[in-house]
Amino acid sequence: MKIMKTKLLSALIILVIFSCSSDEVTDVNGDTTTEDTLEVEVDDTDFEPIDWTTETHSKDVDPNIEEVFEDNTVKRLDFVISENNWQSMLADMTSLYGTFGTGRGSFSDDDDDPIFVPGQVFYEGIEWYKVGLRFKGNSSLASSWSNGILKLSFKLDFDEFEDDYPQIKNQRFYGFKKLSLKNNYDDESLVREKVATDVFRNAGLAASHTAFYTLYVDYGDGPQYFGLYTLVEEVDDTVLETQFTSDEEGNLYKPDGDAATFASGTYDEDEYVKKNNEDEADFTDVTNLLTVLHDESRTTDPETWRTSLDAVFDTDVFLKYLAVNTVIQNWDTYGRMTHNYYLYNYPETSKLTWIPWDNNEALKTGNQQGALPLNFSGLSSTSWPLIGYLYQDEVYKAKYDDYVQETIDGPFNETTMQDLYTNYQTLLEEYATSEVSGYSFLNSSSSFYSAISTLKAHVTSRKSAVEAYLN
């Protein structure tokens, strides 16, 4: 695909020569060179976004899910980032995570995200202008960087720089303001993020749409193939708009830290991270859930406790989520880890509703003691009360068991999943096996095929595990 250059009404370039100096330049490999430089100021604000149409770029359309998140296909995105901006991104990563490729796995003590820079995004021959681009992730970002892999996840915000470039005010990508482009970290099959998220949605739960994309990045030397990615819809952008029907928008939380367990005594407003309504210091929905969850009526009057809990927390949604999450196996979330979910106070019900997030570690036993067993043996109920307390209640347990059966009969049916994995292998093998060293998590081309085979064996083993549990 030929990438079109930004259309400038006038390329006003002002060269301001202060001096000819010798500057040290350090690249991602840590090599330092000395080169003579001139200071150059470039005015890039005077341009006309001539590719702009209402359908493709404006805020005045509904999100085009069919275009952006088309199933059974692989689409392509191109980023063009100036050499200076690219170097700024790399320098920022070095400050956060240490020298690239050291293998030491250093983690940042800073809560700040990596920096945004303006770049061009191209799709199907159309340009989006001065899009906010940054690296994203937590442990996956630090690990990829420290191991010398530039196939990093990206966050896209299409009007991040609208104050600097008024021409792009309220710029959207087919109705989407923000998107995550995930690098399929630690996943040689390259499908776990998409498959797991689709299983949640096919079970009738609110969850992000996903799609496969290849990514090429031009940061000064022409387009570089960064590999096969999974594009993920942002919960705090369009998931609420498209999957919940309400003219109002209740609190949306992305809990992270001890408070995310909902264990007694862990309440901390700073760890119930608000993704909207930040100016309103109202956390009563969260405190109400904590109060009811730990009320003594749980053991003295279970019926009253369930009634009170059902009034503030969508227990039915949570039990369905819990069943799906435990059947497919997903260790990197509630029950083992204190992150990777959202809670939304849905105005239509006035209940906190569970929304899953970040599923690249799903569909395997996993790390950190592994995924939870179907009967939650070994789980500390006081440490993870949303699971432990509900499973100990006979009414909630019966609902959970029903959803376990529904999951294996429906969205995670063995035959359906085996066919899906076969189809994805055929669809993706061209792109997976052509990933480039330094921009891939695959040890070899055969790793991709082996990983798909492992997923096929996994779905069969989960059917057996469910049958053993329910019988």
In a domain, 192, yes or no: no
- For residues 50 and 153, membership in a common domain is answered with yes
23 and 162 share a domain?
yes
Whether residue 229 sits in one domain with residue 105: yes
Regarding whether 232 and 281 lie in a shared domain, the answer is no
| Structural domain contains residue 273 | yes
99 and 238 part of one domain: yes
Helix (H) or strand (E) holding 328: helix 315-328
Assess whether 88 and 60 both reside in one domain: yes
Do residues 85 and 213 share a domain?
Answer: yes
**Would you give the DSSP letter of residue 302?**
H
pLDDT of amino acid 455: 98
Residue 428, domain member (yes or no): no
Burial class (CB in 10 A: 0-12, 13-18, 19+), 339: middle
User: CA 71 to CA 241: how far, in whole Å?
Assistant: 21
CB count within 10 Å of CB 41 equals 8
Domain-located, residue 221: yes
Q: What is the pLDDT along the chain (471 residues), one digit of tens a residue?
A: 444 434 333 333 333 333 334 444 445 555 554 444 334 445 688 899 999 999 999 999 999 999 999 999 999 999 999 999 999 999 999 999 999 998 765 555 556 899 999 999 999 999 999 999 999 998 899 999 999 999 999 999 999 999 999 999 999 999 999 999 999 999 999 999 999 999 999 999 999 999 999 999 999 999 999 999 999 999 999 999 999 987 788 999 999 999 999 999 999 999 999 999 988 889 999 999 999 999 999 999 999 999 999 999 999 999 999 999 999 999 999 999 999 999 999 999 999 999 999 999 999 999 889 999 999 999 999 999 999 999 999 999 999 999 999 999 999 999 999 999 999 999 999 999 999 999 999 999 899 999 999 999 999 999 999 999 999
The pLDDT assigned to 37 comes to 38
Same domain flag for 356 and 397:
yes
Is residue 273 within 8 Å of 255, Cβ to Cβ? yes
172 within some domain: yes
As a three-state string, the secondary structure of 208-274 is CCEEEEEEEEECCCCCEEEEEEEEEECHHHHHHHHHCCCCCCCCEEEECCHHHHCCCCCCCHHHEEE
Structural domain boundaries enclosing 379: 252-409
Residues 229 and 319 grouped into a single domain: no
Whether 46 and 150 share a structural domain: yes
Nearest-angstrom CA–CA distance, 118 and 468: 54
pLDDT for res 337: 95
Q: Is residue 195 part of a domain?
A: no
The answer on 225 and 283 residing in a single domain is no
Looking up tokens 């569909």 gives 363
Q: Are residues 151 and 289 in the same domain?
A: no
Number of domains in the chain: 2
- Tell me the pTM: 0.90
Q: What is the DSSP letter of 362?
A: B
SS3 for 137? coil
Alpha carbon distance 209, 207 (integer Å)? 7
